[in-house]
Amino acid sequence: MKKLDKETTAKAHNANLTGSIELIGGNIIQPFGEVPTSKVAKKKPKRKSVAKLKKEAWDLFSKYIRLRDCLRTTGCSSFGLCITCGKRYHIKLLQAGHFVPGRHGLNLFNERGVHAQCYHCNLHLKGNTLVYRRKIIELYGEGADEEIEATARVVKQYKPLELEEFIVDLKAKIKAIEATGYDAFESELLDNPQIRKEYDALKPKYDKIKEQLKEME
Ligand SMILES: [Zn+2]
């Protein structure tokens, strides 16, 4: 009897479900040409959040810094030397590493305080700060390290419009660098068996690190 009861209950349940579906189906049918007013109400284009704009600006800033340093250190837009260990890496294997750790305030987008750096120096050696300081002084002169440290302490709240303008500016800078005709030089470098070997050997290793970092985010 208990089994039968269960079956009866199940049937009743299914019947209920079917009924509901029909009911819902009946409800969503609209007369031809009529659309609920809530769906036609014009939506204002949503402004991106500061966090989103900051992320977009950072991705472009990182690209700009790495391109700048590749050109500065090798004369080629796709290979550059790490600011601290001086080893040569493909641009995709380089990061934009801060001299003063942290992505706060004015430190985040300080061109003098961010340079192309390898994963090892940036992450494992936490920026390799002792060597980084020496390099900053070499590049920008005595006292530049302290200036950057002072700037890094400035609290800054970014406004959406400001970030939008910064993004436009960065895109223009990147375009200008990419249009400098270094591409021929680049393929010449990749044709070099030693460089190709280095690049091929390192790429899977850093792809793995990149994946791990993404998982940690
Ligand atoms: Zn390095």
Taking the C-alpha atoms of residue 21 and residue 26, their distance in angstroms, rounded to an integer, is 8
Which pLDDT does position 105 carry in this prediction? 83
Comparing 159-163, 186-190, 206-210, the range with the smallest average pLDDT is 186-190
Mean pLDDT across 53-80:
90
Q: Looking at the chain, how many residues does it have?
A: 217
Residues of 15-44 as b/e, b for ≥16 C-beta within 10 angstroms?
eeeeeeeeeeeeeeeeeeeeeeeeeeeeee
Is residue 209 situated within a structural domain? no
Is residue 122 situated within a structural domain? yes
Mean pLDDT across 115-136:
95
Is residue 174 situated within a structural domain? no
Is residue 182 situated within a structural domain? no
Q: How far does residue 27's CA lie from ligand 1's centre (Å)?
A: 64
- Split into its structural domains, the chain has a count of 1
Is residue 198 situated within a structural domain? no
Mean pLDDT across 197-214:
68
| pLDDT exceeds 80 at position 40 | no
Which pLDDT does position 14 carry in this prediction? 42
Is residue 194 situated within a structural domain? no
Report residues near ion ligand 1: CB below 5 Å: 82, 84-85, 118, 121
Is residue 35 situated within a structural domain? no
Q: How far does residue 34's CA lie from ligand 1's centre (Å)?
A: 64
Is residue 9 situated within a structural domain? no
